[in-house]
Chain A
Amino acid sequence: MTSSIKRVILCGLGALTILSAIAPQPAMAHGERATEPYIRTRTIQWYDVKWSTEKISVNDTVAVTGKFHLMDDWPDAVHKPDKVFLSNTSPGAVLTRVESYINDMPAEQSMKNLVVGRDYTFKMVMKGRIPGRWHFHPMLNINGAGPIVGPGSWVQVDGRAEDYRHSVTTIGGTQIADTQNYGVARVLMWQIGYILIAVAWLLWWLRRPLIIPRWLATQKGLDDLLVTRTDDKVAAGFLVLILLVVIIGYINVKAEFPRVVPLQAGSLYTPPLPEAPKLVMVKFKKAEYDVPGRSMRMSIEVTNNASRPVRLGEFLTASLRFVNNTLPAAVAAVDPAYPKELLPFSGIVVDRDSPLAPGETRVIKIDATDAAWELERLVGFLTNVDSRIGALLFFYDDKGARYITSVAGPILPVFRKTI
C-alpha cells in the first residue's frame, strides 16, 4: 500500500471520527432486545399498556398507562424487586417526566418490597420537549437486576424546542420560569470568577522562564531564587483573598436562601392490587422451540373453576402478544395503537379450542409461530443458563370477562415437531 493511500485512509478515519463526535445521532433503540429472554419472559409482564396519543406538540403531554405482573417463576439469577423505580426509556431528555404512579401512588421516588406473583398498575405522564419522532417505553428499574423495558411506541413531537418551558413555584413562593437553565448564570458567574483567580495565580508563575531554566536551577539547589519572598507575599495574598471570597459568599448565600432542604431519598411502599380469584388454573406440561420454524409450542393442562365456559384468548410474553384471532373478545382487547411489531399477525393456534366447560380439565396445545421470536431476540434461551420460559395467559368467557393466569417452565430447542 502506498503512503498516499495510507494518508487518504487516515484522513478519512479522522474525518469520520470528528463527524461522529460532532453530529448528534439520536438513539433509535434502547437495548430492549439485549436483555436475556429468561429475564424478559419471567420477571415482569407488561399488559394493558396504552399510550394516550401518538402525536403531541412541545409542552403537550402523553400518558402511558397499564399494568405489570411480577412472575412467580422469578429467575434465581435476578434480584427480587425489593427496590424498584418506574421510569421510561427514550433517547435522552426529549420527553420530560411530569408525573408517575404505581397503584395510583406517586412514584417520584423508588418503591420498595414489590410482591412477586402480584399485579400493579402504573401511569406515567410525559411532556414533549425536543421535536422529533421518539420511541418511548415504560420501564421498571430493579435494584440489582437492572432495567426491564416494557413495550415501546413511537411518539411524534412537533413544534420548536425553544418553546419548551418547565416553570415551578417553590414552597417559599419563588417563581422559576424555566428549570432548564435555572441558576446556570449564577454558577457560571462564580466559576468564571474562580477561574480568573486561578488564571491570575498561574500567570504569576507562567510569565517567568519555565521548564529548562527552572529545572536546571532546581538541580543546583537554588530554591530561594525560584520561590522568592515576593512569591510568599503573593501566595499569602491569594490565600486571604480566597478565604474572604468563600466566607463572605457563603454568609451571603445563607442569608439569601435561609430555607433549603436536602435531597429526598426515602423509598415508598404500596400494596399490590387485590388478588383476583384463580378461577382458571393452568399446569405447565411441556414447551419447545422449533428453531427453523420459529415456532414456540406449549402444552398446558387447564382447569376451569369459573361459572362460565372459557377459551384461551392471548399468550403474552416479553410484551409480544400472540392473540387467538378466532376469539372476538381477545381481538377486541387489543388496542389498535399497540405496536404492530409486538403483535404477531398469525397469533396463536390452539388445538381443541372449543370452550372449556365449568369444572372441566383439558390438556391443550398452543402454537405461537412468528419471526418475532427471532426479531425480538427471544430465542437466546437456547444458550441461556436458565432455559425456561414464562408467559401470561388470558382466558375469556362467553360474556367477555377476562381471567389471567401465569405459566412457566423449561423450554427445549428442537428441530422437528414432537407435540
Chain B
Amino acid sequence: MTANDQAVLDAAEMSPQISRWSRTFDYMVVVVAAFLVISVTQIHFILLAGDWDFFIDWKDRQYWVLITPIVTIMMAAAFQAVFWNLFRLPFGATASVGLLLVGTWIVRLHGWEGLAYFPLALVVPATCLMGAIALDAVLSLTRSWVLTGVFGGLLYAALFFPSNWVYLAPYFLPVEHMGQMVSLADLIGYTYPRSATPEYIRIIERGTLRTFEDSAVWVSTAFSGFACIFTYMAFWWLGTKLCTPTFIPTGRRFRAAMGLGYGNKGAK
C-alpha cells in the first residue's frame, strides 16, 4: 500500500479491519459492475450502431467513421461521469469501451461464428478503445468535463479511424469478381450470405463527398469529432443526474453504514 493509499484511508477514517472489508467490497463491485457495463454497452451499441460493427462490408469511409464514435462516446461519457463524480476515478470510458470490446468478441465467437456459421473475417469488430483511454487521460489531466468534452471528444473521434485501419486495411484490397472490381470486404460479405441483410440495406458511402486524398474519411472524422463534443456533454450530464441520489428509501442502519447520517428515513 502506498502512502497515498494510506492517506485516502485515513481521510475516510477507516480502521485497518474496515479497510480490508472495504477492499473485499471493491472486488465484488468491480466484478458485478463489469457484467453490468458489458450488458449495457452491448445493448446500447447494437441498437444504435450494430450493423456497422457487425460486418466487414459495412465499414465504409463515411457512416462507419461518423457513427461509431458518436454512439460509443455516449456510454463512455455516462460511465465516466459516474466514476468521476462519485469516486474521482478517470477510467469510465476505458472500462465501458474495453468491456464492450470483450463482450463483442464473446458474442462474435459464440453467436456469430458458433451458431450462425459466419467466419470471423466477416464479423471482426472495430473499437474506440484508444480514444477511450485518451478521453480518460484528458479528464485525469484537466479534471474538467468541459475541457474533456472539447479536447477529449475531438481526440476520441480522431483516433477511431487510424487506430482501426491498422488492422482493417487488408480487407480493402481490390479484387476482381465476376468482371467487377470490389474490395475484399465486399467479396467476403457477398460470399458468406446473410439472408436478412441484402446488399442495398447497407447504409454506406453513396454520396459524392470527396476531399483530402479523394477520401471522405477525414471529413467524416472531423464531423464525428464535432458531434462527439456535444454528445459527450449530453451524456456526461445524464450520467451525473443518474448517479446523484435524490431519494434514498432506506432504513437508518443503511444510512448510517453509508455515512449518510441518521436523518429522517427516506429524506432527501
Mark the stretch among B39-47, B71-79, B169-177, B228-236 that contacts chain A: B169-177
Give the secondary structure class of B's interface: helix
27 CB-based A-B contacts, threshold 8 Å: A93-B118, A93-B194, A97-B190, A106-B178, A108-B177, A108-B182, A109-B180, A141-B200, A195-B102, A198-B132, A199-B98, A209-B14, A210-B26, A210-B87, A211-B87, A212-B14, A213-B12, A216-B12, A219-B259, A220-B11, A226-B8, A238-B133, A239-B134, A257-B173, A260-B172, A261-B173, A264-B180
Q: How many A-B residue pairs have CB under 8 A?
A: 326
Residues of A within 8 A of B94 (CB): 198, 201-202
B184 touching A202 by the CB < 8 A rule? no
- Interface size (A, Cβ < 8 Å)? 102
Chain A, range 205-241, C-beta contacts under 8 Å to B: 205-206, 208-220, 222-223, 225-228, 230-232, 235-236, 238-239
Residue of B7, B13, B115 contacting most chain A CB atoms (<10 Å): B115
A95 vs B111: C-alpha distance when bound (angstroms): 18
Tell me which of A130, A199, A231, A239 contacts B117 (CB under 8 A). A130
Tell me if A252 is interfacial: C-beta within 8 Å of chain B: yes
Q: How far is the CA of A293 from the CA of B11 in the complex (A)?
A: 85
Residues of chain B having any CB pair with chain A under 8 Å: 2, 4-5, 7-9, 11-14, 19, 22-23, 25-26, 29-30, 57-61, 85-91, 94-95, 97-98, 101-102, 114-122, 124-125, 127, 129-130, 132-134, 136-138, 140-141, 143, 159, 162-163, 165-188, 190-196, 198-202, 204-206, 215, 259
Q: Is the CB of B187 within 8 A of A179?
A: yes
Chain B nearest CB, measured from A240 CB (Å)? 9
Q: Contacts A223-B143, A235-B140, A261-B173 given; 20 further ones with Cβ under 8 A?
A: A83-B200, A88-B195, A92-B115, A92-B117, A92-B118, A97-B193, A174-B173, A179-B187, A186-B167, A194-B130, A206-B91, A213-B22, A225-B11, A226-B87, A235-B90, A242-B159, A246-B130, A250-B166, A260-B183, A264-B186
Quick one: which of B86, B166, B183, B184 contacts A249, CB cutoff 8 A? B166
Whole-angstrom distance between the alpha carbons of A272 and B120 in the complex? 38
In Å, the complex CA distance between A230 and B187 comes to 50
Q: How far is the CA of A99 from the CA of B180 in the complex (A)?
A: 12
**Cβ of A201 and Cβ of B133 under 8 Å apart?**
yes
Q: Mark A38-64, 1 if CB is under 8 A from B, else 0.
A: 000000000000000000000000000
A265 to B63, CA, bound (A): 13
The answer to whether B200 touches A85, judged by C-beta atoms less than 8 angstroms apart, is yes
Name the residue of chain A whose CB is nearest to the CB of B13. A216
Residue on B with the closest CB to A207?
B5
Q: A97-B191, A232-B141, A249-B162 are in contact. Are A181 and B205 (CB under 8 A)?
A: no
- Check A363 for interface membership: any CB of B closer than 8 A: no
CB nearest neighbor in A for B19: A209
Least CB separation from A258: chain B residue: B169
* A243–B131 CA distance with the chains assembled, in angstroms: 10
Question: In whole angstroms, what is the CA distance A300 to B160 when docked?
Answer: 64
Smallest Cβ distance from A69 to chain B, in angstroms? 20
Chain A residue with minimal CB distance to B195?
A89
Per a CB cutoff under 8 Å, which of B11, B61, B136, B196 touches A201?
B136
**Inside 8 A of A256's CB, which chain B residues have their CB?**
169
Minimum CB–CB distance from A86 to chain B (whole Å) comes to 9
- Docked pose: A225 CA to B186 CA in angstroms: 53
Query: What B residues does A94 contact at CB under 8 A?
Result: 117
- Contact of A143 with B87 in the complex, beta carbons under 8 Å: no
Encode A94-136 as 1/0 by CB contact (under 8 A) with B: 1111110000001011100000000000000000011000000
